[in-house]
Amino acid sequence: MASQAENFKATDEKLIEEAATGFADGFAEALVQAACANPGINISECSPFSEVVEGKIVPLTAPED
């Protein structure tokens, strides 16, 4: 039973890592497309860990529970 739990945990961690990598890769590709479609825009502050608040790019804030 412990071995099965260990296998589940390892698989879970692998899937989370793959999802995070896929998300980051997709975000990077979207930035490339945005820059291609809009030459001259500054994408240097864009990040998957940012959001737009009052017209400015700011770091994401943790949701309040």
25-62 per-position pLDDT tens digit: 999 999 999 999 999 999 998 999 999 999 999 999 88
Whether residue 65 has pLDDT greater than 70: no
pTM above 0.85, yes or no: no
CA diameter of the chain: 58
Whether residue 1 has pLDDT greater than 80: no
Is pLDDT larger for residue 7 or for residue 63? 7
Whether residue 8 has pLDDT greater than 80: yes
pLDDT of residue 55: 94
Backbone angles phi, psi at 56, to 5 degrees: -125, 150
